[in-house]
């Protein structure tokens, strides 16, 4: 019995190590700090999308992200061409009709799709807030993303982009964009 003790101990150590790896692999993705909420906007010409919220403790500021595909809505040749297009299609106007971009936007990639991102100052019933508009394209289809938060534009932008790069959201975006 004494001779088999090292073998049994090694087996327990190996089993413990495998359990730890399996637990890590099965753990929810980093996006677990985000929780899905109901689509907060009234119906329009596009289907409702998905909405998520992250609290200030987890994201540095309270941030909400709204995303939905707009299939067949993008210029098939040029994709998202300029800031005017981001203003029109990113759904920031659903957060508030009173929004202004303090500076020009810039190029961005979300889920391997090119597009543009732009920050806005918005007036809402909660007071002044920061909004982020993102429009990215795949062929003739568009993914519209709007986010709002109580923090500065850099913090809301960072939280939003980090969230959009999670495996769960990247998978959903790819599926939604192929949803014809």
In the numeric block, which tokens belong to residue 114? 């090119």
| Amino acid 4: pLDDT | 56
User: Considering only CA atoms, which of 122, 118, 109, 170 is closest in space to residue 149?
Assistant: 122
Higher pLDDT, 112 or 92: 92
Q: Which residues contact 75 (CB under 8 A, 6 or more apart)?
A: 81, 137, 140
Tens-digit pLDDT profile for residues 135-168: 999 888 999 999 999 889 999 999 999 999 999 9
Tens-digit pLDDT profile for residues 73-84: 777 777 888 999
In the numeric block, which tokens belong to residue 24? 């890590």
For domain 31-177, the question of CATH label 2.60.420 is answered with no
Tens-digit pLDDT profile for residues 105-127: 999 999 889 999 999 999 988 78
- Is 54 in contact with 34 (CB distance < 8 Å)? yes
Higher pLDDT, 60 or 97: 97
Domain locations in the chain as residue ranges: 31-177
- Mean pLDDT for 59-70 is 93
| Amino acid 22: pLDDT | 39
Q: Give Dmax (Cα) for the chain.
A: 78
Helix (H), strand (E) at residue 4: none
Helix (H), strand (E) at residue 109: strand 106-110
CB atoms within 10 A of CB 3: 6
Q: How far apart are CA 40 and CA 147, in angstroms?
A: 12
Tens-digit pLDDT profile for residues 9-64: 445 444 444 443 333 344 444 455 899 999 999 998 888 999 999 999 999 889 99
Of the CA atoms within 13 Å of residue 6, those in its CB half-sphere come to 1
| Amino acid 34: pLDDT | 96
Helix (H), strand (E) at residue 98: none
């Amino acid at each position: 019995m004494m001779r088999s003790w090292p073998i049994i101990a090694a087996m327990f150590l190996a089993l413990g190590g495998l359990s730890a790896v399996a637990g890590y692999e099965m753990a929810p993705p980093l996006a677990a700090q985000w929780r899905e909420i109901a689509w907060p906007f009234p119906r329009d010409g596009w289907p409702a999308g998905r909405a998520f919220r992250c609290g200030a403790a987890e994201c540095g500021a309270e941030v909400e992200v709204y995303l939905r595909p707009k299939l067949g809505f993008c210029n098939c040749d040029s994709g998202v061409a300029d800031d005017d297009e981001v203003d029109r299609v990113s759904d920031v106007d659903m957060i508030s009709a009173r929004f202004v971009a303090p500076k020009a936007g810039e190029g961005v990639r979300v889920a391997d799709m090119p597009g543009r991102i732009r920050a806005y100052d918005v007036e809402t019933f909660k007071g002044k807030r920061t909004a982020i508009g993102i429009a990215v394209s795949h062929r003739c289809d568009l993914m519209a993303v709007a986010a709002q938060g109580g923090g500065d534009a850099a913090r809301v932008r960072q939280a939003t982009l980090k969230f959009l790069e999670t495996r769960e959201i990247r998978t959903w975006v790819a599926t939604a964009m192929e949803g014809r």
